[in-house]
């Protein structure tokens, strides 16, 4: 669990609510179901229209990594790479086949399988680079869902404000109904700007960092697999991996 993300979103929302109280306002006045429906449902609709259902659900699934990101121990990974290179050097490339079943990372499995199959180092690196590019493209389509939500939400909040003002104009003869329309108008704007800048865009930024870290790890592994396939000295491979960490 990433407590920093939880604390961050709690502080963002808490600051908004506390500020409302310090100004003498009531928190209940910020609860407007009509404004919420306009902003949230409208934003979801616009994002789905732009991204498609597949990318939308992929982006929703990626959001879990904001609060529960995978933990990568690069020191242990470099140690494993060193072990693979030593085994390949001493026992031959085919000896790595027995290690594949014990690996859970699909990218590592694929890299080891290419080595065992005797793929030339240059071709192996080319295949893995294509896989890295496909992975990055797929992940960025998911991130685009949150970036798009951050762009659409404020505008849809303004639309909600306009709808609220239309409701006010329609009921000028009934002063008792003016307050509700005005409340929807202003709260819709708060929802749109608030969700965009306190939730959607921060999630997109956090996911970008996650994807960059995953791409970096895959590039490091691709370099290592190409070195093992080429029969490079295990010490040279390990030194090159340590350079990645610097």
| Domain that residue 14 falls in | 1-30
Pair (13, 102) in one structural domain: no
Is 13 found in the same domain as 128?
no
Q: Whats the size of the chain, residue-wise? A: 246
Q: Are residues 158 and 233 in the same domain?
A: yes
Domain count, the chain: 2
| Spatial distance between the Cα atoms of 160 and 139, rounded to a whole number of angstroms | 32
- 19 with 59, same domain: the answer is no
Same structural domain for residues 22 and 63? Answer: no
Please name which of 6, 71, 60, 39 lies closest in space to residue 185, comparing C-alpha atoms: 39
Residues 144, 58, single domain; the answer is yes
On the 0-12 / 13-18 / 19+ scale of CB atoms within 10 A, 246 is exposed
Look at residue 72 in the predicted model and tell me its pLDDT: 72
Question: Do 88 and 164 fall within a single domain?
Answer: yes
The answer to whether 149 touches 45, Cβ cutoff 8 Å, is no
Question: How far apart are the C-alpha atoms of 99 and 119, rounded to whole Å?
Answer: 18
Whether residue 16 is found in the same domain as residue 112: no
Which pTM value belongs to this model?
A: 0.82
Neighbouring residues of 80: CB distance < 8 A, sequence distance ≥ 6: none
> Please, is 40 exposed, middle or buried when counting C-beta atoms within 10 Å of its C-beta (0-12, 13-18, 19+)?
middle
45 lies in the same domain as 85? yes
What 8-state DSSP symbol labels residue 70? P
| Segment-wise mean pLDDT, segments of 10 residues, the chain, 246 residues | 71 71 68 86 95 94 82 84 90 89 89 92 94 94 95 92 77 64 77 91 92 92 93 89 82
55 and 1 both lie in a single domain? no
Considering the domain architecture, whether residues 135 and 24 belong to the same structural domain is answered as no
- Asked if residues 185 and 164 have their Cβ atoms less than 8 Å apart, the reply is yes
203 and 229 belong to one structural domain = yes
> Could you count the other beta carbons within 10 Å of the beta carbon of residue 63?
17
Check residue 13 and give its pLDDT.
72
Widest Cα–Cα separation across the chain? 90
């Amino acid at each position: 669990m990433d407590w920093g993300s939880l604390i961050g979103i709690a502080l963002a929302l808490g600051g908004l609510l506390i500020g409302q109280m310090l100004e003498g306002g009531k928190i209940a006045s910020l609860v407007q179901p009509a404004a919420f429906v306009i902003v949230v449902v409208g934003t979801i609709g616009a994002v789905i229209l732009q991204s498609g259902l597949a990318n939308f659900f992929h982006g929703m699934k990626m959001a879990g990594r904001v609060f529960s990101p995978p933990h990568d121990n690069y020191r242990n990974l470099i140690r494993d790479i060193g072990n693979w290179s030593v085994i390949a050097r001493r026992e031959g490339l085919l000896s790595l086949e027995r290690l594949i079943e014990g690996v859970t990372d699909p990218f590592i499995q694929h890299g080891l399988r290419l080595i065992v199959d005797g793929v030339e180092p240059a071709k192996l690196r080319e295949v893995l680079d294509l896989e890295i590019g496909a992975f990055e493209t797929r992940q960025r389509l998911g991130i685009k869902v949150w970036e798009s939500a951050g762009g659409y939400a404020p505008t849809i909040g303004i639309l909600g404000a306009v709808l609220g003002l239309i409701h006010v104009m329609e009921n000028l003869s009934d002063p008792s109904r003016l307050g509700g329309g005005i409340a929807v108008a202003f709260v819709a704007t708060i929802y749109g700007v608030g969700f965009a800048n306190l939730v959607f865009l921060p999630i997109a930024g956090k996911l970008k960092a996650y994807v960059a870290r995953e791409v970096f790890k895959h590039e490091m592994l691709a370099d290592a697999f190409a070195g093992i396939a080429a029969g490079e000295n295990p010490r040279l491979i390990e030194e090159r991996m340590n350079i990645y960490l610097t």
